[in-house]
Structure 1
Amino acid sequence: MVCNASLRNIVVQAGRIGVFSKGRVQLRNLRWGWDAILGAQFPLSRKFRAIKAMMVDTGATAERGTIVNVLPEKENMEDNGCASGGWRSEDGRLSCGYSSFRGKRASMEDFFDVKMSKIDGQAVSMFGIFDGHGGSRAAEFLKEHLFENLLKHPKFMTDTKLAISETYQRTDMDFLDAESNTYRDDGSTASTAVLVGNHLYVANVGDSRAVISKAGQAIPLSEDHKPNRSDERKRIESAGGVVMWAGTWRVGGVLAMSRAFGNRLLKQFVVAEPEIQEQEIGDEFECLVLASDGLWDVVPNEDAISLAQAEEEPQAAARRLTETAYTRGSADNITCIVVRFNHDKAE
């Protein structure tokens, strides 16, 4: 393992850093200040409030099976400060592995989640990567609530795409409400994969990423939300925001991603509305890689799939990806989940 002895006793999913952290710069030497960027304090948009009103629990939810939290209550922390583990479905057709490492950061702001359930006779599997910035609270909140909120959505089985979109935005509002009396302004990405039977829904907010292997080829299932993306820049500027260069392209010269959970002070521009891609999983699909940008900053999509495919077990694949990102110089927290589709295996 590449982690050295000085990284012992690192606790995964713990610790906070100051307001200015990954994805942020101080505005002291910039022309634009908060007043120039925001003009005034913006309330949550009418669109978000409308979504919250629509999502009142009607009691019409499908019959839910038991939600199984695949991750142990306490992560399998090793002496080198890395956490990893794996899981396999009862019929052997689906397996996953995860690996999470603080890396060169002073604190850990990555969280991840894996949950299983059975609804109306169909197996439901959920995988998520949540990469916090400005603190760990937003990412932790997503781990605790996002998938549970999704399974409670009355249209989860009948219109899964709509349910995911509304749940993302509702959970964002819930987090902002929960933090309304604090001075924190945490934010987080979310890259999630929801498998209902053989139908895969990948939703993304921020710059974590999902890539799937199809007949050995790497196919991205998400596109990073960066402020200089032409459509994202147009959306931000149409809402009255600015995109400017401050070491990298940033919303208001502050945030290096254009969509995120939390980030109350930029909420008018930095939305939590996900982009969702759908995929029917057939025999030609081999594995799925979800990871925070600590991996993608230094490991291209094609390399990630090649490295994952080289390992028989997904847990070993996830560990190898984490190690590779670290040895290639990643300066961030590194967390990844590898999901393998074992089409030819059944108990």
Structure 2
Amino acid sequence: MGCAHGKCCNRDSSTSDEHSGHHQRGIRPYKNKDGLTQRSLELVHVPSHNFTLQYSSLTQHGYYPDTTDRENQDSFCIKTQIQGNPNVHFFGVFDGHGQYGAHCSNFVKDKLVEILSSDPTLLDDPLKAYNSAFLATNSELRDSEIDDALSGTTAITVLVVGDTLYVANVGDSRAVIAVKDGDRILAEDLSVDQTPFRKDEYDRVKLFGARVLSVDQVEGLKDPDIQHWGDEESHGGDPPRLWVPNGMYPGTAFTRSVGDSTAEKIGVIAVPEISIVRLTPSHLFFVVASDGVFEFLSSQTVVNMATAKVSYTLDFNACLLQNNATAYKDPSDACTAIAGDSYKRWLELENRTDDITIIIVQIKGLSNQSVVGTTDSEVHSRPCQTGGSMNQSAAIVPPLMHQKPLESVGHSSCSFLSLYIYIYLSHLFFIHCATRLVDLPYTWFLCFATCVIFFIVVPAYIQPLGEESSYYLCFLMIFFSK
């Protein structure tokens, strides 16, 4: 759902990686007539926490009966090992709109990753780097040869840094994570759509002088003074849009985007909203998708569809696991199922479909304990994979302040050698105490208590203290046993 110069937007497009450079203003949009692009199953290991990301992606050309040569304006980017770091990976979906929306989405997907990859502050402050990258990308697009006056793109991106997700969103595309809760799998949004349905966004753009009206209100079919459109899940296909005070443009159904220089004057900005999520073993997979998926499917419905062998509850707000099922073994199957159902829902409720793009990333083998250090394998940065003709229990918490997010952490627990020495000396100390206490009353009770203290309680407390502390305690035990 992008700009509106009438009931529907006119979107020309492409997502070809080979066309993601600078483009002349006013040139004819390049043509990509491929209907469906799906990448094969791929995976990447995250050595810092010893888990694997298994992912797949799919983009489906929209169907517009009045413009059969219309092309896909969605694009996506998957880039692993950002800055050569095996623990840092990027997943993004970009939904272009306007006459040059395809140019915008391709430009932004390339430029955003390029800026992030070259930012020296990314290791120290990913939040600042993320925010700066979006604003710099917007400026680069403005200075490029692409006409972004009435064209632009949304951007929903996930930066994986070890066991932490940094989710940056501009627009109305969405990221969702699946969380296992007992026998249920719940969907939790990692982003919040930035549209006039949100009161905070509505109030913000009104301060810039934007008129917020549906198309029917603009055309005089409904009262323009009514500033309530229900909720986003049930707006009935005519959402509120942004218009300049004395004109019939730009008609954007979102309040933030990259590009859209005309809409910027009425409050449409490229500042991302960023959320941080610390992954746990309860997190099964996350979905990054354009609004072509979420226009008629809720976040929970998408998670339900991505989960294999499930039965739906009566209120359809969660799914129940059967036979210890978790999710599709191959996320490409889940992508196909969701895209297919989205396409079907569009045709049932509209006379067209939007472009549909989805990335599903499964989280495999994550435990509560992280592996320290990095592997000795060769570190290399893979090129950005792109779409085209090749074309809240989810623990939203900031990272630990004492740890740089992109750095590996050294060992902090006792080595096996020191622990073995401690247990051996505890055994000697126990025997020594037993011989001293043999003639006292309650001898066996005291021996048992001594055993519990030195074999269970003390090791539990000293192990996190480090190897050096354990050696000091061993020395003290030897001294007091004399």
Once the two structures are superposed, the pairs formed by residues 325-344 of structure 1 within 5 Å of their partners are: 325-329=342-346, 331-343=353-365
1:272 aligns with 2:270: yes
1:126 aligns with 2:90: yes
1:255 maps to 252
Q: Return the offset for 1:245.
A: 2.3
* Structure 2 CA distance for aligned equivalents of residues 174 and 83 of structure 1: 28
Distance 1:227-1:312 versus aligned 2 partners, 3 A rule: same
Once the two structures are superposed, the pairs formed by residues 227-306 of structure 1 within 5 Å of their partners are: 227-246=196-215, 247-252=238-243, 254-268=251-265, 269-306=267-304
- Does the Cα contact within 8 Å between 1:130 and 1:292 map onto a contact in 2? yes
* Structure 2 CA distance for aligned equivalents of residues 229 and 327 of structure 1: 28
1:25 aligns with 2:47: no
Among 149, 167, 171, the residue aligned to 1:202: 167
Give TM-score, length-normalised by structure 2. 0.54
2:35 maps to 81
Among 146, 152, 156, the residue aligned to 2:122: 156
Q: Return the offset for 1:150.
A: 1.0
Among 44, 49, 55, the residue aligned to 1:96: 55
* Structure 2 CA distance for aligned equivalents of residues 178 and 119 of structure 1: 25
- Does the Cα contact within 8 Å between 1:129 and 1:290 map onto a contact in 2? yes
What secondary structure, in the 3-state scheme, does the structure 1 residue paired with 2:81 have? strand
Among 215, 218, 241, the residue aligned to 2:187: 218
Please give the root-mean-square deviation of Cα atoms over the aligned residues, in Å.
2.7
1:40 maps to none
1:109 aligns with 2:64: no
Cα deviations across residues 237-275 of structure 1 (Å, max 9, x unaligned)?
Answer: 212322222242111161111111111111121101011
- Between stretches 269-278 and 337-346, larger displacement belongs to 337-346
Bigger fraction of residues in helix: 2
Bigger fraction of residues in strand: 1
What secondary structure, in the 3-state scheme, does the structure 1 residue paired with 2:346 have? coil
* Structure 2 CA distance for aligned equivalents of residues 142 and 344 of structure 1: 32
* Structure 2 CA distance for aligned equivalents of residues 293 and 140 of structure 1: 17
* Structure 2 CA distance for aligned equivalents of residues 285 and 95 of structure 1: 13
What secondary structure, in the 3-state scheme, does the structure 2 residue paired with 1:98 have? strand
- Does the Cα contact within 8 Å between 2:80 and 2:86 map onto a contact in 1? no
- Does the Cα contact within 8 Å between 1:101 and 1:335 map onto a contact in 2? yes
Q: Return the offset for 1:344.
A: 5.8
* Structure 1 CA distance for aligned equivalents of residues 149 and 60 of structure 2: 24
Q: Return the offset for 1:24.
A: 1.1
Q: Return the offset for 1:22.
A: 4.2
Among 301, 305, 308, the residue aligned to 1:307: 305
Q: Return the offset for 1:305.
A: 0.7
What secondary structure, in the 3-state scheme, does the structure 2 residue paired with 1:95 have? strand
Q: Return the offset for 1:321.
A: 1.0
Once the two structures are superposed, the pairs formed by residues 23-62 of structure 1 within 5 Å of their partners are: 23-26=3-6
Cα deviations across residues 127-166 of structure 1 (Å, max 9, x unaligned)?
Answer: 0000000031110111221111112122111110111111
Query: Identity of counterpart residues, as a percentage?
Result: 29
* Structure 1 CA distance for aligned equivalents of residues 190 and 74 of structure 2: 20
* Structure 2 CA distance for aligned equivalents of residues 323 and 82 of structure 1: 11
Q: Return the offset for 1:334.
A: 0.4
1:7 maps to none
Q: Return the offset for 1:104.
A: 1.1
Give TM-score, length-normalised by structure 1. 0.74
* Structure 2 CA distance for aligned equivalents of residues 241 and 73 of structure 1: 37
- Does the Cα contact within 8 Å between 1:226 and 1:258 map onto a contact in 2? yes
* Structure 2 CA distance for aligned equivalents of residues 145 and 153 of structure 1: 12
2:428 maps to none
For the pair shown, the structure with the greater C-alpha radius of gyration is: 2
- Does the Cα contact within 8 Å between 2:3 and 2:97 map onto a contact in 1? yes
What secondary structure, in the 3-state scheme, does the structure 2 residue paired with 1:217 have? strand
Q: Return the offset for 1:288.
A: 0.3
Distance 1:22-1:121 versus aligned 2 partners, 3 A rule: closer
Cα deviations across residues 273-314 of structure 1 (Å, max 9, x unaligned)?
Answer: 011110011111000001101110121111111111222111
Letter aligned with residue 272 of structure 2 = P
Q: Return the offset for 1:80.
A: 8.0
What secondary structure, in the 3-state scheme, does the structure 1 residue paired with 2:139 have? helix
Matched residues, number: 279
What secondary structure, in the 3-state scheme, does the structure 1 residue paired with 2:92 have? strand
1:56 maps to none
* Structure 2 CA distance for aligned equivalents of residues 107 and 73 of structure 1: 16
* Structure 1 CA distance for aligned equivalents of residues 366 and 88 of structure 2: 20
Letter aligned with residue 101 of structure 1 = Q
Cα deviations across residues 316-335 of structure 1 (Å, max 9, x unaligned)?
Answer: 11111111111222520000
Give unpaired runs (5+ residues) of structure 2: 8-15, 20-32, 65-69, 216-237, 244-248, 309-327, 348-352, 376-482
What secondary structure, in the 3-state scheme, does the structure 1 residue paired with 2:138 have? helix
- Does the Cα contact within 8 Å between 1:213 and 1:287 map onto a contact in 2? yes
- Does the Cα contact within 8 Å between 1:228 and 1:243 map onto a contact in 2? no
Deviating runs (4+, > 6 A) in structure 1? 71-74
- Does the Cα contact within 8 Å between 1:189 and 1:205 map onto a contact in 2? yes
* Structure 1 CA distance for aligned equivalents of residues 275 and 338 of structure 2: 24
Distance 1:244-1:118 versus aligned 2 partners, 3 A rule: closer
What secondary structure, in the 3-state scheme, does the structure 2 residue paired with 1:329 have? helix
What secondary structure, in the 3-state scheme, does the structure 1 residue paired with 2:284 have? strand
